[in-house]
Structure 1
């Protein structure tokens, strides 16, 4: 039988090189080529001049990005790859960093520099003509945090516990008043509206004096009252300190996890029970074009509607004012449809193809016929004289305006209209259920934006963009989660998960470039 020559001890005149073993079109060469073009001065600033020489940050960056392209996220597996994998050996030039060095590089050295690295790669993709930075598609998804699912703190629970503390103080104070002698009774009760240390101390001292000075305390449950007083004295101030610390961590959020205080509990779609359980998570927002990720941000709020302003501000800071002004349109789903977001995009001179919450329902003929006559959206409005006309032809004059502020601080102006006389109207039961005359409130600025958006979305361009959104931004999340198993963060804290998501985003862009 004929076999190829095999001798492990055979000497060769010219030793083999890793370069001979790697195909010219292999993705590792793309990583090497692209990252060689970027400026890493911001990354160099993360290193100190003193101490032992460090591994070169460009080498570490290349290894890290390529590892994420290969679905290799563990620092120990990356270290193993640098020892055993030809691709990593070629990329690192036979340098082998231990897993602790790799972990520190990812979580510390990249903290301030990675977004700049990512943006430079995006601009390189634009120079190559793979993207234009003109038509962008924005969407968000929730990714589970590396935190305990049952180590939660809820803002509403803190509020409830404080109210219970106030109630216990008030009940004990009333009991002390009931058994105190006439001369020891307080003429005016203290205000039990807001609890603080000073109020606890004064109230406890006052109750204690009344219980000590009363001769009938033992006959009327005095022992139980004294036990409650001791519990209040020993625990209430400590609990108040604990609640204050928790409220500082919460800030404007409704919840957080004790094992990752930056993570907020959000309702997740992906769940083993398929019932959408609440889990600690982060809200990841991306903007894409041709399935390339142009920008990403991580948020602690579960609602997409409140993320667009900071996401666009971050985008502008990264690519610069000049490039940002080249953006022509933004397409997003109804989760972003709000007056604040429409105003923002109008101010930025970006054409908004963003659905509002009832747009899809309006396309249903049954919805239109059901609401055509009596809904406030279909009442005739005289813009010149500023009044509405009810289905019976009665004028509904504006009686006042009101202002309200959203959670993000955006001010909305509402106009209120009321009919003069609905009594005896044959259509009253179908028109409204109020016992008084019908009244409506309208946000004219929001209605103006909705009308403009309705025309855009129904145009040929709008229909095309609505179709493209489904296969531009959404497949990116599907690819990251299902093909590359990125369903849960490995790192903790907002700053670190931003780096982790950024590595996934950059790896996705380079994989897309190779494809």
Structure 2
């Protein structure tokens, strides 16, 4: 009986082919790489071409490198070395690059230098193309922000408060030795005075140290410990104060930065793997979306969303020549300055304020029935009515400034006779007559926002915001694993996020 053998398909590695396969034949018709290729070919890349000089050796075509970079970000390949490897080994990249093999230096230089001033225009062209195809509208946008960790060491921090503390210690040490010097050499003219908290700088430190050296250095009656302290001051204070001044210039209005990426600010990260809200160097990324397509993005060094809206809208207006008709955002943007800005630009603003959601809750309203915002206001008499029906008259205005310099006017109102009131101790806890501070303009803006948010259109926008802008961040960070920037410095970080934004839009279009 014959033994049956298994049957295999022919396998001959060295077999020559009469007609070698075309790379185009190896890529399915609905493959994402074709979407990337078609979109980049369809947009105007003239600003990118102008970034190259006429003279010099031949370069890889910018369209080639742009397509490779964008498709790399679409497929979660962010490293220039891995992109260079993909151009040698992966069929979609080989097809995009037409079998060219740019090395990682070429790709990295193109990303960090050539795209510095041109990527924004590429992104805008992609958005305009998507608008033409009726995939989105730039008139109704949903805005939100997230924090993404910078490519910086989390232990190389510089804190503004630490600098101020160290300068205060220097001031106190100089004052102590200055007073000692006055007691040793009473006949000496000790001018100039030692620096104060407001005048401590490189010049004042230098003048003070020179005077102390003149009085104490060659005096045999001076205590040895004082001379040792003077030597320490000579060696460290001029150097340290110069370092602090340089750090304060880098800090600007921020409270911190990282030495390995001076544009990054330390922020609390929600998705920290230690689950303890660690402070890490990061950037605050703001985006506006429409139908889960990114239509605008900006990078900010400040951790709060409240102060980012003005710059974000300015970038939108610069990109498209107008502001959106409607903007929907969460309570992180609900400040008086932002409401005034949106009102000036005549935009429909579906923006919550900080207690909007709690105000919708009956339990919260019952818990604080005597809160200032629950009191009746008579605008004709400019008085508030307390829970017992007595008038609370205005006792003066106070002007306050926010961190951005925006002026807020608070008006104070005081009750007349709280001592004999049966609600005393329940209505308020102070021992004197109750005083409330009210920002009348903010109250008006909140009332306007409340009415707008509770219309049918407002409810629709509030519901849609949750599944329009937030899933975009979730997709980029969770599904595509981008949780930390690879490049350093705000300019390069902006390039990297621009590539991510283009990749997100093309993935959405392909889907």
Q: TM-score, normalised by structure 1?
A: 0.94
Residues 197 and 507 (structure 1 numbering): CA distance in 2 closer, same or farther, change over 3 Å?
A: closer
Residues 511 and 212 (structure 1 numbering): CA distance in 2 closer, same or farther, change over 3 Å?
A: closer
Q: Counterpart of 1:50? A: 55
Query: Is 1:31–2:36 an aligned residue pair?
Result: yes
Per-residue deviation, 1:389: 1.5
CA deviation profile, 1:14-50 (whole Å, cap 9, x unmatched): 4321111111111111111111111111101211111
Query: Is 1:464–2:460 an aligned residue pair?
Result: yes
Segments of 5+ residues of structure 2 without an aligned counterpart are 1-5
Question: Which of the numbers 341, 345, 348 marks the counterpart of 2:345?
Answer: 348
Q: Counterpart of 2:121? A: 116
Q: Counterpart of 2:3? A: none
Following superposition of structure 1 onto structure 2, how do residues 347-366 of structure 1 map, counting pairs within 5 Å?
A: 347-366=344-363
Aligned-partner SS, 2:485:
coil
Query: Is 1:425–2:440 an aligned residue pair?
Result: no
Distance across 1 between alignment mates of 2:501 and 2:206: 55
Question: Which of the numbers 412, 436, 441 marks the counterpart of 1:440?
Answer: 436
Q: Counterpart of 1:67? A: 72
Aligned-partner SS, 1:139:
strand
Confirm or deny: 8 A CA contact 1:263 1:282 kept in the other structure.
yes
Q: Counterpart of 2:95? A: 90
Distance across 1 between alignment mates of 2:193 and 2:60: 70
Q: Structure 1 residues 162-171 or 342-351, which shifts more? A: 342-351
Distance across 2 between alignment mates of 1:269 and 1:320: 35
Distance across 2 between alignment mates of 1:205 and 1:2: 96
Question: Which of the numbers 204, 211, 214 marks the counterpart of 2:209?
Answer: 204
Distance across 2 between alignment mates of 1:4 and 1:191: 89
Distance across 2 between alignment mates of 1:74 and 1:486: 12
Query: Is 1:338–2:335 an aligned residue pair?
Result: yes
Q: Counterpart of 1:312? A: 313
Distance across 1 between alignment mates of 2:502 and 2:149: 20
Per-residue deviation, 1:161: 0.5
Per-residue deviation, 1:364: 2.1
Confirm or deny: 8 A CA contact 2:48 2:114 kept in the other structure.
yes
Following superposition of structure 1 onto structure 2, how do residues 100-499 of structure 1 map, counting pairs within 5 Å?
A: 100-181=105-186, 183-184=187-188, 192-193=196-197, 194-211=199-216, 216-217=221-222, 222-321=223-322, 324=323, 327-372=324-369, 374-499=370-495
Residues 51 and 228 (structure 1 numbering): CA distance in 2 closer, same or farther, change over 3 Å?
A: same
Confirm or deny: 8 A CA contact 2:190 2:211 kept in the other structure.
no
Segments of 5+ residues of structure 1 without an aligned counterpart are none
Residues 210 and 111 (structure 1 numbering): CA distance in 2 closer, same or farther, change over 3 Å?
A: closer
Residues 188 and 506 (structure 1 numbering): CA distance in 2 closer, same or farther, change over 3 Å?
A: closer
Per-residue deviation, 1:460: 2.3
Per-residue deviation, 1:436: 3.1
Residues 9 and 444 (structure 1 numbering): CA distance in 2 closer, same or farther, change over 3 Å?
A: same
Residues 132 and 176 (structure 1 numbering): CA distance in 2 closer, same or farther, change over 3 Å?
A: same
Q: How many residue pairs get matched?
A: 505
Q: Structure 1 residues 387-396 or 284-293, which shifts more? A: 387-396
Confirm or deny: 8 A CA contact 1:139 1:473 kept in the other structure.
yes
Distance across 1 between alignment mates of 2:54 and 2:499: 26
CA deviation profile, 1:177-197 (whole Å, cap 9, x unmatched): 33444x348699656333123
Q: Structure 1 residues 66-75 or 277-286, which shifts more? A: 66-75
Per-residue deviation, 1:390: 1.6
Following superposition of structure 1 onto structure 2, how do residues 12-31 of structure 1 map, counting pairs within 5 Å?
A: 12-31=17-36
Aligned-partner SS, 1:352:
strand
Residues 212 and 489 (structure 1 numbering): CA distance in 2 closer, same or farther, change over 3 Å?
A: closer
CA deviation profile, 1:399-420 (whole Å, cap 9, x unmatched): 2223222222222222222223
Aligned-partner SS, 2:426:
helix
Per-residue deviation, 1:432: 2.3
Confirm or deny: 8 A CA contact 1:340 1:410 kept in the other structure.
yes
Residues 213 and 101 (structure 1 numbering): CA distance in 2 closer, same or farther, change over 3 Å?
A: closer
Confirm or deny: 8 A CA contact 1:146 1:490 kept in the other structure.
yes
Question: Which of the numbers 497, 502, 509 marks the counterpart of 1:506?
Answer: 502
Confirm or deny: 8 A CA contact 2:193 2:208 kept in the other structure.
no
Distance across 2 between alignment mates of 1:51 and 1:100: 18
Aligned-partner SS, 1:429:
coil
Per-residue deviation, 1:424: 2.6
Distance across 1 between alignment mates of 2:257 and 2:442: 33
Per-residue deviation, 1:111: 0.8
Distance across 1 between alignment mates of 2:101 and 2:189: 79
Distance across 1 between alignment mates of 2:174 and 2:391: 55
Confirm or deny: 8 A CA contact 1:265 1:280 kept in the other structure.
yes
Per-residue deviation, 1:213: 8.1
Aligned-partner SS, 2:387:
coil
